Chain A
Amino acid sequence: MNEQDSVETGKERTGIIGLLHRIWGSLRRPTARYALGTLLATGFVGGILFWGSFNWSMELTNTETFCISCHEMEQNVYREYKQTVHYSNRTGVRATCPDCHVPKTWIHKIARKIKASNELYHHFLGTIDTPEKFEGKRLELATNVWNVMKKTDSRECRNCHNFEYMDFTVQENRAQTRHETAITDGKTCIDCHKGIAHELPKGAYEAEQKLD
Chain B
Amino acid sequence: MIKLLAPVLMGVFLILGFTLWSPQANSQQDDAVHSLRGTTALDENNEAPDLKKPNTGNRFGKAYRQQPPLIPHKIDKYQINLKVNQCMRCHDWPYNVREGAPKISETHYKNRSGVALDKVSRSRWFCTQCHVTQTRAPAIVRNDFTPATGQR
Contacts and interface: CB of A to CB of B under 8 A. Distances in A.
Interface in A70-91: 83-85
Contacts of A195: 79, 84, 86
Given A199-B83, A201-B84, A172 B74 contact: yes
B81 to A, nearest CB: 8
A42 B83 CA distance: 60
Contacts of A173: 56-57
A177 B90 CA distance: 14
Contact of A84 (B56, B73, B77, B84): B77
Nearest to A83: B77
Contacts, number: 34
Interface of A (DSSP majority class): loop
B89 interface: yes
A102 interface: no
A200 B79 contact: yes
A190 to B, nearest CB: 13
A172 B55 CA distance: 10
Contact of B56 (A172, A178, A204): A172
A200 B73 contact: no
Nearest to A135: B83
A202 B100 CA distance: 25
Contacts of B89: 205
B88 interface: yes
Interface centre among B56, B57, B77, B83 (most CB of A within 10 A): B83
B84 A178 contact: no
A199 B57 CA distance: 28
A204 to B, nearest CB: 5
A173 B56 CA distance: 8
Nearest to B83: A202
A200 B77 contact: no
16 contacts: A83-B77, A173-B56, A174-B101, A177-B100, A178-B99, A199-B83, A200-B79, A200-B83, A200-B84, A200-B86, A201-B83, A201-B84, A202-B82, A202-B83, A205-B84, A205-B88
Interface of A: 83-85, 172-174, 177-178, 195, 199-202, 204-205
Given A178-B99, A199-B83, A202-B83, 13 more contacts: A83-B77, A172-B73, A173-B56, A174-B101, A177-B100, A178-B100, A195-B84, A200-B83, A201-B83, A202-B82, A204-B83, A204-B84, A205-B89
